[in-house]
Amino acid sequence: MKESKVYMIGPKAAWQNLDKLFARTGIRKKIEKDEIVAIKIHFGEMGNIRYIRPALARQVVDMVKKAGGRPFLTDTTTLYRHARHNLFDYLQTAARNGFTSETMGCPVIIADGLRGTSGQWIELTNHQKLKKVKVAQAVFESDFLIALTHFTLHPDAGIGGSIKNIAMGCTTKETKLAMHTSQAKPKYEASKCTLCFSCVRVCPAGAFYQKGKKEIGYDPEKCIGCGECIAYCPSRAITVPWESVFSLDVQKGIIDGFCGVISRFSSEKRFFINICLDITHHCDCMKESHLPIVPDLGILASYDALACDKASFDLLNKGTNYPGSESDRKGAKKDKVKTIYPRVNMDKFWKLCKNSGLGNLEYSLEIIN
* 113 pLDDT more than 70: yes
Class of domain 4-181+245-368: alpha beta
* Contact in structure between 209 and 217 (CB atoms under 8 Å): yes
| 187-188 vs 238-239, strand pairing mode | antiparallel
**Of 360, 355, 285, 348, residue with least CA distance to 97:** 285
Out of 167-176, 230-239, 272-281, 357-366, least confident range: 230-239
3-state SS track over 242-271: HHHCCHHHHHHHHHHHHHHHHCCCCHHHEE
pLDDT > 70? residue 211: yes
Q: Which residue has the higher pLDDT, 235 or 151?
A: 151
For residue 246, the model assigns a pLDDT of 61
Tell me the average pLDDT across 130-149.
Answer: 97
**pLDDT at residue 205 tops 70:** yes
3-state secondary structure of 292: coil
Per-residue model confidence (pLDDT) at position 1:
57
What percentage of the chain reaches a pLDDT higher than 70?
97
Question: Hey, where are the domains in the chain?
Answer: 4-181+245-368, 187-240
> What single letter denotes the amino acid at residue 96?
R
Q: What is the pTM of this model?
A: 0.88
SS3 string of 111-134?
A: CCCCCCCCEEEEECCCCCCCCEEE
How confident is the model at residue 316, as a pLDDT?
A: 97
* pLDDT at residue 322, rounded to an integer: 96
Span 269-274, average pLDDT: 98
Q: Inform me whether the pLDDT recorded for 274 exceeds 90.
A: yes
Residues 82, 84, 89, 92: is their CA dihedral positive or negative?
Answer: positive
Can you list the alpha helix ranges (DSSP code H) found in 11-53? 14-25, 27-30
Lowest mean pLDDT among 23-37, 162-176, 177-191, 255-269: 177-191
Q: According to the model, what pLDDT value does residue 92 have?
A: 97
CB 295 within 8 A of CB 277: no
Of residues 173 and 71, the one with the higher pLDDT is 71
Report helix, strand or coil for 347.
helix
* Rounded CA separation 195/132 (Å): 33
Phi-psi region of 68 (alpha: psi -120 to 50; beta: other; left: phi over 0): left
Q: Are 120 and 140 in contact (CB under 8 A)?
A: yes
Domain 187-240 CATH class label: alpha beta
Q: pLDDT value at position 98?
A: 97
Contact 215, 205 (CB under 8 A): no
Q: What is the mean pLDDT of residues 37-41?
A: 98
- Mean residue pLDDT of the chain comes to 92
Taking 80 as the threshold, does the pLDDT of residue 164 lie above it? Answer: yes
- Cα–Cα dist 160/156, whole Å: 10
Q: What is the pLDDT of residue 115?
A: 86
Among residues of the chain, what percentage have pLDDT more than 90?
Answer: 73
Over range 58-72, report the average pLDDT: 97
**What's the rounded Cα separation, in Å, for the pair 61 and 57?**
6
pLDDT at 183 over 70: no
pLDDT reported for residue 268 = 95
> CA separation (Å) from 168 to 86, 161, 259, 330?
15, 11, 11, 28
- pLDDT tens per residue across span 287-300: 888 999 999 999 99
Residue 13: pLDDT over 90: no
Asked if the model's pLDDT at residue 243 lies above 90, the reply is: no
What pLDDT does residue 229 have?
A: 85
pLDDT tens column, 334-366: 899 999 999 899 999 999 999 999 999 999 999
Contact in structure between 271 and 143 (CB atoms under 8 Å): no
pLDDT at 321 exceeding the cut of 90: yes
